Structure 1
Amino acid sequence: MTKLTWLRKNLFNTWYNSTLTVICFVLLFRALQGAVVWATTKAQWAVVQINLPLFLVGRFPQTEYWRVWVVFAIALSLTAITAVVFLGKQRFAGFTKLVAPWLSLIWVLSFPVILWLIGGGFGLRPVSSNLWNGLLLTLFMAAISIVLSFPVGVLLALGRTSKLPVIRWFSILYIEIIRGVPLIGILFLAQVMLPLLLPTDFRLDRVLRAIAGLVLFSAAYMAENVRGGLQSVSRGQVEAAKALGLNTFFVILLIVLPQALRAVIPAIVGQFIGLFKDTSLLSLVGLVELTGISRSILAQPQFIGRYAETYLFVGLIYWLFCYLMSLASRCLERQLNN
């Protein structure tokens, strides 16, 4: 079917479809024309150009910017290596065979290095977490929360399907209670209640409290996504594995979980994307992440009222990272299906 035939069959097959198609094209053209005219002649993009360092790293000391660029370089390098391992097995077979067994360990070891570079100490100038702002804080909070909430969610999903009543009912109560409370409530509780549960001489950093709130909230939804995958694995496979002599631990680890997680990759990545966007609520509890730094920029006298330019730029950043996660999810699904 040629493109012209497809257009005639789907958009111009009747007189009213043709009329609606023409009207929609006219409205779309006018909207795009207005957006282009505004972006090129009326918008004042100086608010983005002048404040770009604030958007990216906030009030992080300028003399220590090199540490942030090293962190970004480490993250990009590990992401590229992971993509090669998962998506380029045939083209880079030798490299994949060498790196794949150590990839998880490399990622785990990179986190303390990144935390050391951002926070300082051990030879580097300490930088208070109050100065971790902008996109730097957004990515840091999202990455840590995703890494921690995933295993917690898997354990909760396994607990909800457990035959032990105590574990099952604890998991059910936790999941249903957390899912019944909005995220902003969890964040406020984490900021206010967690210090009350700790010794008086122990002060938990605001960033750690916010991470705890995000992890507690996301883990409950992650558990339900994983539980859907667990239910997709047939009972016969579990019984066959036990008949071969595998105990319950290895049945879950080698038979059930790989199939369950593979079945719910879109739902899991959707939860990760939602968690990344949920970091925008951190500005309501005193953390100046990407959305919070935007409000600070809009408070500058010369940029008062420049809401459209500022929030369009912020929205573009959020969309870019969310799209990259979605693209990685589709590539991973395609690779696993092959």
Structure 2
Amino acid sequence: MANPDLSFVRAEMAGVQPPPRSERGLGSWLRTNLFATPVDAALSALAILFLAWFLPPAINWLFVNAVWTGPDRTVCSTVAQGGIQPDGWSGACWAFVNAKFQQFLYGRYPFGERWRVDLTAVLFVALLVPLLIPRVPHKRLNALLFFVAFPVVAFFLLVGGSFNLSFVETPLWGGLLVTLVLSFVGIAVSLPLGILLALGRRSNLPVIRLLSIIFIETIRGVPLVTVLFMASVMLPLFLPPGVTFDKLLRALIGVALFETAYLAEVIRGGLQAIPKGQFEGADSLGLSYWQKMRLIILPQALKLVIPGIVNSFISLFKDTSLVYIIGMFDLLGIVRQNFSDATWASPQTPATGLIFAGFVFWIFCFSMSRYSIFMENRLDTGHKR
């Protein structure tokens, strides 16, 4: 039999070919994402028209005609190029934010002691950043320093009263300092308590399960304002005479307990999503209950509910503004309080201050959201599409 002709058989793998020209570049992206169907094209056109109508005056008000420096409200009624606008809306009054910036950060914290807040912030960032970067080693030591040692150091730095540091009472705290303190303590306390409550609600012990259900459903059935009001106003009425708690401490307890109930339900959803075979496999290995949860079940459950957990953290960060109800001034509260300053009372001041506060909240919330997406992608061990 003659040797077959194998000239048509490829002797090596074909190299990577570039996609067709129609599938590359800006035109392809626009067709795929904005003009894929007639409905998409119509909606995209409406969005472009809206942006064309909205952005030029917004940019003009925010930046072009804005006033950046000045001693009082009179500068905010003058256009950057000169002249007075009849309606008083010449542009954003960033001079107000510039003049009050220190107060927005520290509240009424004593000026000569603000280095303690700055040092606390530096320690916070120095411990948090390595903890968030997966490749940085010694995660256990880092977590121990961040969640155990740092709160103690921060307490003595911010409150004072020892180590030759003057005492600073919490009513003087305010601005971004209060927002971050409430958020950090709320997140650090609510996550482990939420895990325990979620496990308690799924427990086989009737008493533990009933107590967990009562706590979760009671807290979830009332708004945070009610919890803060009870912690700040009603709780002292039930304490023995002469016994009292700091108002900030009461707010911290109320925020942490409120967030714990919501996180417990988020984590319980993750536990219910774990296949029964994972529990049975852990039992077949002879693992104890806590070994099973710590090594097998909880790592999978927490990975599944990362979006829900981060969403709860973002909600907590924004809800800290409700402490304004009980006479505490977080970032938004201190901004609103300064609207009544006669030196800066002008039509531009409230809008500019609220835009500044909203931008600060957006930076923190957007950062948490992007890190959540990063961790989801990194921990994703499922099938790739």
Q: Would the TM-score normalized by the shorter structure come out above 0.5? A: yes
Residue 173 of structure 1: CA displacement? 1.6
**Shift, 1:132, TM fit:** 0.8
Pair 1:35-2:78 in alignment: no
Find the aligned partners of 2:44 and 2:201 in 1 and give their Cα distance: 50
- Alignment of 1:81 with 2:125, yes or no, is no
Structure 2 counterpart of 1:26 = 49
Q: Does 32-41 or 298-307 show the bigger shift?
A: 298-307
Kindly provide the amino acid, as one letter, of the partner of residue 97 in structure 2: V
Residue 4 of structure 1: aligned partner? 27
Change (3 A) 1:51 1:12: same
The unaligned stretches of length 5 or more in structure 2 are 1-22, 66-90
Higher relative contact order (CA 8 A, sep 6+): 1
Q: How far apart, in 1, do the equivalents of 2:230 and 2:259 lie?
A: 15
String of CA shifts for 1:38-81, please: whole Å, max 9, x gaps. 11211111110000001100111110111111011101111221
Equivalent residues of 2:263, 2:309 under 8 A apart: yes
2:5 counterpart residue number = none
1:149 paired with 2:172, answer no
Q: CA deviation at 1:27?
A: 2.0
Q: Which moved more, 1:60-69 or 1:4-13?
A: 4-13
- 1:67 pairs, out of 116, 140, 145, with 116
Q: Residue 238 of structure 1 aligns to which amino acid in structure 2?
A: F
- Tell me the distance in 1 between the aligned counterparts of 2:40 and 2:361: 36
| Cα drift, residue 243 of structure 1 | 1.6
Aligned ranges for residues 243-322 of structure 1 at < 5 Å?
243-304=284-345, 305=347, 306-322=349-365
Q: What corresponds to 2:235 in structure 1?
A: 194
Letter in 2 for 1:101: R
Is the counterpart of residue 45 in structure 1 residue 94 in structure 2?
yes
Aligned-partner Cα distance in 2 for 1:18–1:253: 50
Q: 1:8 to 1:233 in 2, by over 3 A?
A: closer
Give the Cα separation in 2 of the matches to 1:288 and 1:12.
Answer: 47
Residue 9 of structure 1 and its aligned partner are, at CA, apart by 6.0
| 1:44-193 correspondence to structure 2 within 5 Å | 44-84=93-133, 86=134, 89=135, 96=137, 99-107=138-146, 108-122=148-162, 123-193=164-234
Whose helix fraction is larger, Structure 1's or Structure 2's? 1
Task: Check 1:59–1:83 CA distance in 2 against 1; reply closer, same or farther (3 A cut).
Answer: same
Q: CA offset at residue 32 of structure 1?
A: 0.4
**What does the per-residue CA deviation read over 1:100-157, in whole Å, with 9 as the maximum and x for residues that have no partner?**
2312211110111011111112110110101110000110011011111111111111
SS of equivalent residue, structure 1 residue 277: helix
1:223 aligned residue: 264
Name which of 270, 277, 283 aligns with 1:242: 283
Amino acid at match of 1:229: G
Distance 2:208 2:33 in 1: 55
* Change in 2 beyond 3 A, CA 1:17/1:335: closer
Distance 1:49 1:175, change over 3 A: same
Instruction: Give the whole-Å Cα distance in 2 for the aligned partners of 1:269 and 1:191.
Output: 27
Q: Which has the larger radius of gyration?
A: 2
Pick the aligned partner of 2:244 from 196, 203, 209.
203
**Separation of aligned partners in 1, 2:259 and 2:368:** 17
% same residue: 42
Q: In structure 1, what residue type is equivalent to 2:362?
A: W
Shift of the 242–308 alpha-carbon distance from structure 1 to 2, 3 Å rule, reads: same
The change in CA–CA distance for 1:26 and 1:127 in structure 2 (over 3 A counts) is same
Q: Distance in 2 between matches of 1:31 and 1:335?
A: 38
Structure 1 Cα separation of the partners of residues 35 and 181 of structure 2: 50
Q: RMSD of aligned C-alpha atoms?
A: 1.8
| Of 153-162 and 100-109, the range deviating more from structure 2 | 100-109
Q: 3-state DSSP class of the match of 2:212? A: helix
1:326 is aligned to 369
What is the TM-score when the length of structure 2 is the normalising length?
0.81
- The count of corresponding residues between Structure 1 and Structure 2 is 328
Deviation at 1:18, TM superposition (A): 5.1
In 2, Cα distance between the equivalents of 1:219 and 1:133?
Answer: 24
| 1:6-56 C-alpha deviation (Å, 9 max, x unpaired) | 434665577776565444322211200010111121111111000000110
- Using the alignment, how far apart are the partners of 1:250 and 1:58 within structure 2? 46
